[in-house]
Structures are given as C-alpha cells and as structure tokens.
Chain A
Amino acid sequence: MALTLTKGNEAIAEGAIHAGCRFYFGYPITPQNDIPEYLAREMPKIGGTFIQAESEIASINMVLGAAAAGARVMTSSSGPGVSLMQEGISYLAGSELPALVVYISRIGPGLGGIAPTQGDYKQVTSGGGHGDYYTIVLAPASVQEMFSLTIKAFELADKYRNPAVLLCDAILGQMKEPVEIGPRPDFKDISLPDKPWALNGNAGRKSNLIKSLYLGDGEMEVQNWMLFDKYNKMKQEDTYFETTDVDDAELLVVAFGSCSRMAQTGIDMAREQGMKVGMLRPISLFPFPEKAVAELSARIPKVLVVEMNTGQMYKDVKVNLDRAADIHLYARPGGGLPTPDDVLEEIKKIY
C-alpha cells in the first residue's frame, strides 16, 4: 500500500472517518485545530455532521447527546479545553456512553503555552472529572498509530460503553510522517455494534432512559462496583504495550508517546556503546500495563522513567515495580524536550 506524508492531527481525523465516526463537535484551540478544520471540510462530503460549538462544555455535551442517540461521535481539544470538558466526560462515564475525546496536549497549568507536554497524564489516567470512574486512554507514538489507535479507541469505547481518550501532544499532532492509510471505506461496510439502549424513539419497545442520577439507598454503590468490574475487565482484556530489546536488558527505560521516540534513540546510542538497555512503552495508559512493569522489573533491576512532566507516570511505574528494583526518573516538564543525548547521559549515570 502506498505511503502518504500525513500530519498527525490529520491522521486522527482520517482515522475517525475510517472508524465510521460521522459526528464531530468541537471548539478551536491550538495545537489541535487541524482536526476540526479537516473534519469541517470532509464531513459534509460524506454525509457527516460538523458543528463548531460555543465552548468545549457545549462540545462535550453535544457529544453526549449524539452518543446517547447511538452515534459513533468524537471531539478534540487541548489542556484548557479538556479541563472544561471534564464535566461531560464524567457524565459520559456515569451514563455509560461511548465517545472519543482526542487530547493534543499543550503545556500548562493555566493558559501555559502551546509547546508539547505529557503533563496531562495524571488528569486523563485518573478520570479527570468528579466521581469514581476512569476513561480508556490510548497514547500513540507515531502518526501511523494516531490513525490506527483512533479506530481502536472507538472500538474500545463501544465495547465498554465508556468514554475513551486518545492522548497525544503538540509534537505528534504537528509532525508529518509517511503513513499507510487505505482507501476510505463506505459507511455501510463499516461494522458498528448494535446499540439497543440508544435513544431513537420507543417504537416497538419500552422507553429507553439514559441517566447518571441514582438517589435510592445503596443504588450508587452498586453502580460504582459495576463500573469497577468494567475497569477490571479492561485491565484483563485490553492492556496494550510494546517492548524492545528487553530480553538481555540490564536497564529498562519506560516512556510513552512522543517521549518514547526520543528515548528510543537514546537507547540505540547506549546499545552502540555496549550498554544493554531495553524499552517498555505503555500504549494504553489506562488500563496501565501493571503486570508488564512488575514482570520486567523483576528481571531487569534498574528502571528509568523518562517523561515530559515532573514525574506522573513514574508513580504508576513505582507502585507496580518489583521490590528489588531501583527506579530513576528523568523528567522534563513545561515544554522541555529530552534529546537522545540527554537520555544517553541519564542511562550512563545509572547503568
């Protein structure tokens, strides 16, 4: 199949079309504007709907309405916008509705800046809004994965009736890479699940109700345990990660997203110098590859977490680490980029 040079944000938008998403609601914010711009242009050509909403709050609630109506639906945003969306994401989780939120991170807190960061890891992997819930979080590391994981995220959202987040950053969103994107499938050829719970009028059935309010004594506890079971099922069936050069490794680097690309080059340089270094790259940040961390760190006693924040994933690695293993952190928050040389230096310090 032919490769096309594609921008990360546009690969996501095209991935959504391939996934059968025909409804997009969003609000402009840098560095993700290529997504709404692409879909504003393409959706009308394929019978889809694009609405530029009055805010991210309105966007996510339009998403909620369309999801309740049974559609495959998405929005996209960045830090300040996703913060506003947390209300709706909590309601999506509470109402058990599938939808995709694409998150192209920019530095924060506050207005911050438009440079890349992984500082939103903590927000997305802990749910983000109020209540005892989680979203599925997938973190691509290449433009190709931005395409394929967009489709995967829609499928997982439907499988679990739960919102999914595709967590990327300004580097991934803005960079171009050669990617393999097949021809657009016809909508009728895309396999979409039945949604008997959806709201489409009660003709021939009892009325459907979608809600998150449970006032009865003990009802909400039952609801929370039901969600807990769902998250456990995600852990068992849909935890994704990639390992490279771990078989003989004496040091394990853990990094995700764009940061893993820079770390990988540092690892390759270390290998050239005779150091046995491997990589664990979490692809699903929720569910987090807990078992992989535990098993690899039992075998590889030194672990280096590299991330573009002050050490957010570090905590998830540490809590799952083998007791005998040593853990180190190389952190670059606020738009700081770890170069391969930086990573190599860190590897040398602890190897």
Chain B
Amino acid sequence: MSEIITPATDPKKIMGRPKCLNDVTFHFCPGCNHGNVHKMIGEAIDEYGIQDRTIGVAGVGCGVFLYNYVDVDVLEAPHGRACAEATGINRVHPDKIIFTYQGDGDLAAIGLAETVHTANRGENITVIFVNNTVYGMTGGQMAPTTLLGQKSTTSPYGREFMGDGYPIKMCEMLATLEGTAFVARVACDTPKNLMTAKKAIKKAFKMQIDQMGFSFVEILSTCPTNWGMTPQQAYKRVAAEMIPYFPLGIFKERTTADYM
C-alpha cells in the first residue's frame, strides 16, 4: 500500500481529493468504477509529483471526459487510436509522462492493432484499460470482452463462441510481447482489490518514470446501467463472473530495462 498523503494545512485529514483532480462532480452512473480509476490515477500523479509533465490521451467512450476531471494536458483521440497518439506524443516529448485511458471496445476491438503494436515497440507509455465487458457510452453493445452467455443489446440471446468468438484476454496476450514492461489485471469490487489496483496503477507509472517500456493495467470494472443491475449486484458480478474468466494478478514485470 502506498503512503497516505497528509496535507500540511490540515494534519487531521488523512484522505481527500487528489490535487490534480478538478473539484467537479463525475458524470458517471452510480456504481460505475470510472470514478475510482480516475481517483487512483490522480493519486499516482500527485504522489510522484508529475502533474506538470503528464499528458493524458482519452479514448472514445465514457472515459473521453478525462479532461474534465484530471487537471493535466489532454488529447482526445479517435476511437481506438489512443496508443498511436501516445506514440506520437512520446516521440516528441520523451521526457514527459504519457498515459492513455481506454475502454474495452476502444482498446480491444477497433484499436487492437494500435494497442498490440505500441506494446510491441516497447513505447514508454502507460495504458489504463477499463474493462467492463460492454460498450458503455453507446448503450450497452457487445464488446470484445463480453463474457460468453452475457446479454447485451447486440447479443440479445447471450454471447456465443460460435459466431461471436471468445472474450479477449488482453493481459495474457500483451504479456507475450517483448516490448511490455508491466502487465497487470486488477479489480475495484472490494476494498482489498481497490488497494491492489492503486498499487498496480502506481507501479505502471513508476515503470514509465524509470524508462522501462510499455506498462499496462487492466481494471475489471462495473457498468450497472448497461448490465441492468443495481450497483451492489454489479459488484457481486465482478467477483462471480468476471474474475473467474479474467484472473487478477501481475502477468509480467520487468525488473531491468533489458530490452535496450
């Protein structure tokens, strides 16, 4: 667990809004984990003191409004292309900290080629991948990570592997590439998992700060609205259905920049 930041102005305050998060209300639905992930990114940026040299790239989906919440320079990328944009920025500013924020449709369907090749180049960036097994912003269509049997607006009878294929396991795929430095899958469904998720996100940024190469954190997240569930039911589904198929853990962790 990372150290707790205690603002000097109020010695009794043990937690609060990260300095680099704007003081505005999230637009996310009740029970959605995007807010948690934004907060963890904000904490990581604050704790490393990198706000003034961080550049975010927002994918298309519910995460596109990253720029309303995280107070850093932000580029809005076309759907799926965030890793290509991050590559362009990274080559111009190799001294900056660059992260993308992408959902499952964005990263694992339309942007799969950009994601895989950016990882394969060992691009020194951090990718935050929010996997909620559904296209959220467009209204709950089938994603590449939609689980078998899961109903969505475009798999109304449940996803079947004959015809729709199996849900893609991004961490397992990317861990096979020489260019990846850190690959981890975490979840936000329990306080313990949240603490692990925070550690993984911090670790991913640290990898980039240390010039280790491509770092990737997949966060299993909820979408109560499009799952047709209450927040409580959605949190239970993460443990009951998602984690058994998408196991949590660190899939790769480079200890030296040995790709150089």
| Chain A positions near chain B (C-beta within 8 angstroms) | 23, 25, 49, 51, 53-55, 57-59, 61-71, 73, 87-88, 91, 95, 199-204, 207-213
Instruction: List, in ascending order, chain B residues with CB within 8 A of A23's CB.
Output: 88, 91-92
User: Quick check: B93 and A88 within 8 Å, CB to CB?
Assistant: no
List residues of B (60-78) whose CB comes within 8 Å of A's CBs. Answer: 64, 67, 71-78
Q: Which of B47-55, B139-147, B209-217, B222-230 contacts A (4 or more CB under 8 A)?
A: B47-55
User: Quick check: B78 and A69 within 8 Å, CB to CB?
Assistant: no
Given A54-B113, A57-B81, A210 and B75 contact (CB-CB distance below 8 Å) = yes
Given A58-B114, A62-B87, A201-B53, A209 and B73 contact (CB-CB distance below 8 Å) = yes
A199 to B72, CA, bound (A): 9
User: Quick check: A69 and B89 within 8 Å, CB to CB?
Assistant: yes
Picked from A51, A57, A65, A211, the residue with its CB within 8 Å of the CB of B86 is A65
User: Quick check: A201 and B54 within 8 Å, CB to CB?
Assistant: yes
Instruction: List, in ascending order, chain A residues with CB within 8 A of B75's CB.
Output: 64-65, 68, 199, 209-211
User: Quick check: B85 and A64 within 8 Å, CB to CB?
Assistant: yes
- Quick one: which of A23, A62, A212, A213 has the most chain B CB within 10 A? A62
Hey, what's the 0/1 contact readout for B79-104 against A, CB within 8 Å counting as 1? 00100111111111100100000000
Instruction: List, in ascending order, chain B residues with CB within 8 A of A25's CB.
Output: 88
A25 to B73, CA, bound (A): 23
Q: Is B187 an interface residue (CB 8 A)?
A: no
A39 → B minimal CB distance (Å): 14
Given A54-B117, A202-B51, A211-B67, A61 and B88 contact (CB-CB distance below 8 Å) = yes
Q: Is B186 an interface residue (CB 8 A)?
A: no
| Chain A residue nearest to B121 in the complex (CB) | A51
Picked from B72, B76, B113, the residue with its CB within 8 Å of the CB of A58 is B113
Instruction: List, in ascending order, chain A residues with CB within 8 A of B54's CB.
Output: 201
User: Quick check: B73 and A199 within 8 Å, CB to CB?
Assistant: yes
Instruction: List, in ascending order, chain A residues with CB within 8 A of B87's CB.
Output: 51, 58, 62, 65
Picked from A53, A71, A203, A212, the residue with its CB within 8 Å of the CB of B92 is A71
Instruction: List, in ascending order, chain B residues with CB within 8 A of A66's CB.
Output: 88-89, 91-92
User: Quick check: B96 and A54 within 8 Å, CB to CB?
Assistant: no
A55 to B117, CA, bound (A): 10
User: Quick check: A65 and B57 within 8 Å, CB to CB?
Assistant: yes
Instruction: List, in ascending order, chain A residues with CB within 8 A of B93's CB.
Output: 69, 200-201
User: Quick check: A200 and B76 within 8 Å, CB to CB?
Assistant: no
List residues of B (111-130) whose CB comes within 8 Å of A's CBs. Answer: 113-114, 117, 121
- Quick one: which of A49, A199, A209, A211 has the most chain B CB within 10 A? A199
Mind listing 29 A-B residue pairs with CB under 8 Å? A49-B92, A53-B117, A54-B114, A54-B117, A57-B84, A58-B113, A59-B84, A62-B84, A64-B88, A65-B85, A65-B90, A66-B88, A68-B88, A69-B88, A88-B78, A199-B73, A199-B74, A199-B75, A200-B93, A201-B93, A201-B96, A202-B52, A203-B52, A207-B71, A207-B74, A211-B74, A211-B76, A212-B76, A213-B64
A43 to B71, CA, bound (A): 34
Picked from B67, B91, B92, the residue with its CB within 8 Å of the CB of A70 is B92
Given A66-B92, A69-B89, A58 and B84 contact (CB-CB distance below 8 Å) = yes
User: Quick check: B92 and A61 within 8 Å, CB to CB?
Assistant: no
User: Quick check: A65 and B89 within 8 Å, CB to CB?
Assistant: yes
| Chain B residue nearest to A69 in the complex (CB) | B92
A61 to B85, CA, bound (A): 5
7 nearest A-B pairs in the assembled complex, by CB-CB distance: A65-B88, A61-B84, A65-B85, A66-B88, A69-B92, A203-B52, A211-B76
B92 → A minimal CB distance (Å): 4
Given A54-B113, A55-B113, A201-B73, A61 and B91 contact (CB-CB distance below 8 Å) = no
A55 to B87, CA, bound (A): 14
A67 to B84, CA, bound (A): 12
B200 → A minimal CB distance (Å): 24
Instruction: List, in ascending order, chain B residues with CB within 8 A of A209's CB.
Output: 67, 73-76
| Chain B residue nearest to A57 in the complex (CB) | B81
A64 → B minimal CB distance (Å): 6
Instruction: List, in ascending order, chain A residues with CB within 8 A of B92's CB.
Output: 23, 49, 65-66, 69-71
User: Quick check: A208 and B73 within 8 Å, CB to CB?
Assistant: yes
Instruction: List, in ascending order, chain B residues with CB within 8 A of A213's CB.
Output: 64, 76
| Chain A residue nearest to B87 in the complex (CB) | A62
Instruction: List, in ascending order, chain B residues with CB within 8 A of A200's CB.
Output: 55, 73, 93, 96
User: Quick check: A61 and B73 within 8 Å, CB to CB?
Assistant: no
A73 to B152, CA, bound (A): 42
A49 to B121, CA, bound (A): 14
Instruction: List, in ascending order, chain A residues with CB within 8 A of B64's CB.
Output: 213
